[in-house]
Structure 1
């Protein structure tokens, strides 16, 4: 009688709305341990809701103005570009004799590197051959803006200085050895050497390590072929060897810049 009475009590009254099948089945599955439970129905998200985040992410990736430096986003690159603009204006509008004196005083030649290595290495990096519309100037803006957004300003400055210093020491060291063994005249110890191209080459090599493979390898091959072609042209072999050295320094920094980006 007890079992029958409980079954009668479980009968819904007339006019009552029956619970959904899923709810009833969930209750029964709880009472019968051997019966597998029904899978929950997947919530259907409208296509517009799933497509919206993808569209927003794509729009963020395609923002062209992020290729330009800003005071807040990329302070090192922005400040460096301002300095180069000022020195480019001085080069363009000052008296040629004054410009030559400034360039000669900032030259990273062997004589200056032996006397005042640190000041001259820093001073040589504030001048740019060809002005702000030269290929290396445009490359500096694009490369170091992208690099600084990924690893920060201080580390971007380290990449630049490593390429600039190491490539300068290699090329000018070769000049010094050439003078010692008699293959170059003594005047080579005072040759004019300044600019940002070594640092830009190192930055391009380092940035390639942070890109996806379909961007990384075309950049490495393209820059490498361009530098080798410049070396084959033999117009300025020491400087061209310096560009290859600086680019190799940037590529060698891939493990470091990848750790810096994760950090």
Structure 2
């Protein structure tokens, strides 16, 4: 009997990348933009970061493009390795579990909602003279809102009791800054995490539960459910 050899390491890596294409395309683009920032002069780097931000000024001038483009840049290129690890641990696992389109829908809604809500708070603070008007041009870029939403969704992928330990850790990580002088970014993270946790109906487990309920209600000899 011919033995089946396990796939080579390169084959396993290729299979992993193919299983989460959205995550790795996104990570590739972030890698390219990080190289651009790392190789740019200080003045050009500042210009690019401000031009690609989803701050109040850019949202007023280019609302759709600023919301989209801001999700493909990180402010500090040296953080790319950390983000790459988080993408593999969080985004890739969630995308493989949910499928690319449901994963993309969740993080897209979270990114847009958290950005708009946090910048609205900045605008209100400026109008109330609690923040300087220069905050309309603040650098507001990055992938952290999407990561927060995916981290919330990942809760449902873990079995108890690890699920509850993980959930407590995630809530603590994003929640503690809210109690100690929260910035608009901290509030955005909390919003994105909440949206990720609220996306339970998109998970396969939710679909399985709904199907099981339907099977039980359709079983002969059982009374129909009350409406």
Q: TM-score, normalised by structure 2?
A: 0.78
Change in Cα spacing, 1:143 to 1:68, as seen in structure 2 (3 Å) is: farther
Contact 1:176 1:189 in 2 (8 A): yes
Residue 211 of structure 1: CA displacement? 2.3
TM alignment of 1:195-210, pairs within 5 A: 195-210=142-157
Out of 134, 141, 149, the position equivalent to 2:96 is: 149
Corresponding residue pairs, total: 198
Residue 81 of structure 1: CA displacement? 1.1
More helix as a share of residues: 2
Out of 154, 164, 167, the position equivalent to 2:111 is: 164
Unpaired segments ≥5 residues, structure 1: 1-64
Q: Equivalents in 2 of 1:240, 1:69: separation in Å?
A: 35
* RMSD, aligned α-carbons: 2.5
**Which has the higher relative contact order, 1 or 2, with Cα contacts under 8 A spaced 6 or more apart?**
2
Q: Which has the larger radius of gyration?
A: 1
Q: TM-score, normalised by structure 1?
A: 0.68
Contact 2:49 2:75 in 1 (8 A): no
Q: Equivalents in 2 of 1:73, 1:228: separation in Å?
A: 32
- For 2:202, the equivalent position in structure 1 comes to 256
- For 1:75, the equivalent position in structure 2 comes to 21
Q: Residue deviations 1:217-258, cap 9 Å, x none?
A: 122110111122333443x62111111111011001112224
Unpaired segments ≥5 residues, structure 2: 1-10, 212-227
Q: Secondary structure at the match of 1:194?
A: coil
Q: Secondary structure at the match of 1:213?
A: coil
